């Protein structure tokens, strides 16, 4: 029986990253993938949806100059397929070349992994043949799949999850999206931006993106509506079914009245569930948590030699988080002692219209935790780069501690190139630093990140535009005990 230092179950972004990190330590590692190398992150997840988003924004820009321009879905599909092929080929060629090296450390098996005990894995190939391998450590990175309501029949043709979007052979003339979280709003943004689909969005809450601050959700909603989308606020889905090849769905609103609507397609986007079934976890004694995902303590399960990373933990279902967890787990196995992972300063991008960049806490989190804080908010219309791009819809918003140190708690940027503005602030949060050094740096001009600098200057009372003059464009206030008060004057710095 072959023996390895590490066996990784799952060849998605997390598993691949973990396997590659083990090689850095000179360890023999086997990666087992049941279906497709790269997982959902390549084939029907992040890469495909973000490629669609990029093309949708390009189409929207063209339509501003040529209003009657109509994109063809076959052209868009070709671009998405090329992106998938490029990423898949990179990963596959890299993996194949690793296996040809003289000092062979990396091994790959395509098949289904099943845990026999805490050191032994059985691999079942597509032709039914089986083999057993042993390992000192095991990393489980089996990912997740779309959550499907038990009362809705999903055929991935008419009623689809994110897995079925690529089955569309034409832009639907109408479409409903169930779920007003990030992914639901992203797909609503994409299809409304193409200008070929009337999009309805079912929002059980009073506003979309309920985990984000109201001002963020408001800008995104306004842009969705401007692109012809309809948001069913405060509605719950009573039923959804395919009738004569189209989707019929019934909504019930908070006041008790109901409404029946018909559309061409429906997208179910209500979260994801971890892939924990048929792994043999019980054979090794691996426990699940109350959410049905694998329990872990800083990536280590209750079985000391078995670790876990990525969506199967459902801690935070993001590619960058899953990769970081996997690499961290491998360091814990083979490297020096490291401090536990921190999820405080996760940088995220919401591919909406406009784009939303986020790091750290938002304001409603600070209020819920009763953290005294200051908030500074700067409108995009004051930023030279945004003006040059003719994209002035949006704002910068930074939250700091309400003390002299003014350590950054979080930031949200809503607008063009928002993601380019978050990493420097993420570093300040990670290192628990204040704002003065970043405020005094020479930022490139014109650039979106100058908006971050101007926000920090406002907090230090040395901004170029004065908030007491441009009261509608520049705002600064303190919040304590749930009460927010505008700041009339600041100490000169």
Q: Rounded to whole angstroms, how far apart are CA atoms 91 and 47?
A: 14
Q: What angle do CA 487, 491, 493 make, to 5 degrees?
A: 130
Instruction: Indicate the average pLDDT of the chain.
Output: 93
Contacts with 356 (C-beta within 8 Å, 6 or more apart), sequence order: 212, 216, 220, 349, 350, 412, 413, 414, 418
232-274 per-position pLDDT tens digit: 999 999 999 999 999 999 999 998 999 999 999 999 999 999 9
181-218 per-position pLDDT tens digit: 999 999 999 999 999 999 999 999 889 999 999 999 99
Cα–Cα distance list, 146 to 24, 271, 472 (Å): 33, 6, 42
Q: Do domains 2-146+273-334 and 159-270 have the same CATH topology?
A: yes
- Contact status, residue 67 vs residue 144, Cβ threshold 8 Å: no
Cα dihedral value 112, 118, 119, 121, nearest 10: -10
Mean pLDDT of 82-95: 95
Torsions phi, psi for 23 (to 5 deg): -60, -35
Query: H or E segment at 474?
Result: strand 474-480
310-348 per-position pLDDT tens digit: 999 866 788 999 999 999 999 999 999 999 998 877 889
pLDDT at 491 over 60: no
Q: For residue 315, what pLDDT is reported?
A: 66
- Contact status, residue 228 vs residue 199, Cβ threshold 8 Å: yes
Q: For residue 490, what pLDDT is reported?
A: 53
Q: Rounded to whole angstroms, how far apart are CA atoms 465 and 162?
A: 44
In which region does residue 470 sit, left (phi positive, over 0), alpha (psi from -120 to 50) or beta (all else)?
beta
Report CA torsion sign: 57, 62, 67, 72: negative
Q: Helix, strand, coil shares of the chain as percentages rounded to 5?
A: 30, 30, 40
DSSP for residue 380: G
Cα–Cα distance list, 37 to 92, 147, 164, 280 (Å): 7, 22, 19, 22
Torsions phi, psi for 482 (to 5 deg): 80, 5
Query: H or E segment at 54?
Result: helix 46-65
- Contact status, residue 395 vs residue 414, Cβ threshold 8 Å: yes
- Contact status, residue 349 vs residue 355, Cβ threshold 8 Å: yes
Contacts with 307 (C-beta within 8 Å, 6 or more apart), sequence order: 137, 138, 139, 140, 296, 299, 300, 301, 329, 330, 332, 333
pTM given for the model: 0.92
- Contact status, residue 308 vs residue 302, Cβ threshold 8 Å: no
In CATH, the number for domain 347-486 is: 3.30.390.30
17-66 per-position pLDDT tens digit: 999 999 999 999 999 999 999 988 899 889 999 999 999 999 999 999 99
Q: For residue 294, what pLDDT is reported?
A: 96
DSSP 338-363: -PPP--TT-EEEE-SSS-EEEEE--H
Residue boundaries of the structural domains of the chain: 2-146+273-334, 159-270, 347-486
CATH class of 2-146+273-334: alpha beta
Query: H or E segment at 242?
Result: strand 235-243
Q: For residue 463, what pLDDT is reported?
A: 87
Q: Rounded to whole angstroms, how far apart are CA atoms 437 and 448?
A: 18
Show the tokens assigned to 336: 């020096």
Q: For residue 492, what pLDDT is reported?
A: 46
Contacts with 201 (C-beta within 8 Å, 6 or more apart), sequence order: 176, 177, 180, 184, 185, 188, 208, 224, 229, 230, 231, 232
Radius of gyration of the chain (CA): 25
Q: For residue 351, what pLDDT is reported?
A: 95
Strand segments (E) across 94-129:
106-110, 112-117, 120-124
Q: For residue 32, what pLDDT is reported?
A: 98
- Residue 360 CA, chain-centre distance (Å), reads 14
- Contact status, residue 201 vs residue 232, Cβ threshold 8 Å: yes
Q: Rounded to whole angstroms, how far apart are CA atoms 19 and 42?
A: 17
Widest CA span of the chain, in angstroms?
76
pLDDT at 469 over 90: no
- Contact status, residue 192 vs residue 227, Cβ threshold 8 Å: yes
Show the tokens assigned to 116: 């026999």
In CATH, the number for domain 159-270 is: 3.50.50.60
Q: Rounded to whole angstroms, how far apart are CA atoms 450 and 443?
A: 6
Q: Which of 166, 357, 169, 353 is nearest to 267 (CA)?
A: 166
Residue 137 confidence class, pLDDT cut points 50, 70, 90: very high
Q: Is 433 exposed, middle or buried (0-12, 13-18, 19+ CB in 10 A)?
A: middle
- Residue 431 CA, chain-centre distance (Å), reads 23
Contacts with 261 (C-beta within 8 Å, 6 or more apart), sequence order: 176, 200, 248, 249, 250, 251
154-173 per-position pLDDT tens digit: 999 999 999 999 999 999 99
The span from the first CA to the last CA of the chain, in angstroms, equals: 69
Residue 181 CB neighbour total at 10 angstroms: 17
């Amino acid at each position: 029986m072959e023996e390895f230092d590490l066996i990784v179950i799952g060849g998605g972004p997390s598993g691949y990253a973990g396997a590659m990190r083990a090689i850095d330590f000179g360890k023999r590692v086997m990666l087992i993938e049941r279906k497709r190398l790269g997982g959902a992150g390549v084939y029907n997840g992040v890469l495909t949806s973000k490629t669609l988003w990029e093309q949708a924004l390009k189409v929207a820009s063209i339509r501003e100059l040529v209003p009657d321009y109509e994109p063809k879905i076959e052209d868009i599909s070709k671009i998405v397929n090329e992106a998938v092929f490029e990423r898949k080929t990179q990963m596959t060629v890299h993996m194949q070349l690793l296996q040809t090296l003289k000092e062979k450390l990396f091994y790959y098996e395509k098949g289904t992994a099943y845990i026999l005990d805490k050191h032994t894995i059985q691999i079942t190939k597509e032709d039914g043949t089986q083999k057993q391998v042993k390992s000192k450590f095991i990393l489980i990175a089996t990912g997740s799949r779309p959550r499907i309501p038990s009362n809705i029949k999903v055929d991935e043709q008419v009623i689809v999850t994110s897995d079925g979007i690529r089955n569309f052979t034409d832009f639907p003339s109408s479409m409903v999206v169930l779920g007003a979280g990030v992914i639901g709003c992203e797909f609503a943004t994409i299809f409304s931006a193409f200008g070929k689909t009337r999009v309805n969005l079912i929002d059980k809450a009073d506003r979309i993106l309920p985990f984000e601050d109201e001002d963020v959700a408001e800008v995104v909603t306004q842009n969705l509506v401007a692109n012809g989308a309809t948001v069913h606020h405060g509605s719950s889905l009573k039923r959804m079914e395919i009738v004569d090849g189209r989707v019929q769905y019934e909504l019930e609103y908070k006041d008790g009245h109901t409404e029946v609507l018909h559309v061409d397609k429906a997208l179910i986007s209500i979260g994801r569930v971890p892939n924990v079934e048929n792994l043999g976890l019980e054979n090794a004694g691996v426990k699940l948590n109350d959410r049905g995902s694998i329990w872990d303590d800083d990536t280590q399960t209750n079985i000391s030699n078995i670790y876990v990373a990525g969506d199967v933990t459902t801690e935070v279902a993001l590619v960058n988080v899953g990769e970081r967890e996997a690499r961290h787990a491998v360091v814990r196995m083979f490297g020096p002692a490291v401090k536990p992972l921190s999820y405080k300063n996760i940088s995220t991008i919401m591919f909406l219209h406009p784009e939303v960049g986020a790091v750290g806490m938002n304001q409603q989190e600070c209020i819920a935790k009763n953290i005294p804080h200051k908030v500074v908010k700067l409108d995009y219309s004051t930023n030279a780069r945004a003006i040059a791009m003719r994209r002035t819809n949006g704002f910068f918003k930074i939250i700091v501690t309400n003390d002299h140190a003014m350590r950054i708690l979080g930031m949200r940027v809503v607008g063009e190139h928002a993601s380019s503005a978050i990493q420097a602030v993420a570093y300040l949060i990670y290192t628990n630093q204040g704002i003065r050094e970043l405020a005094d740096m020479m930022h490139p001009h014109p650039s979106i990140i100058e908006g971050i600098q101007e926000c920090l200057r406002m907090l230090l009372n040395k901004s170029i535009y004065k908030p007491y003059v441009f009261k509608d464009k520049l705002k600064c206030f303190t919040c304590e005990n749930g009460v927010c008060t505008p700041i009339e004057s600041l100490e000169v710095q």
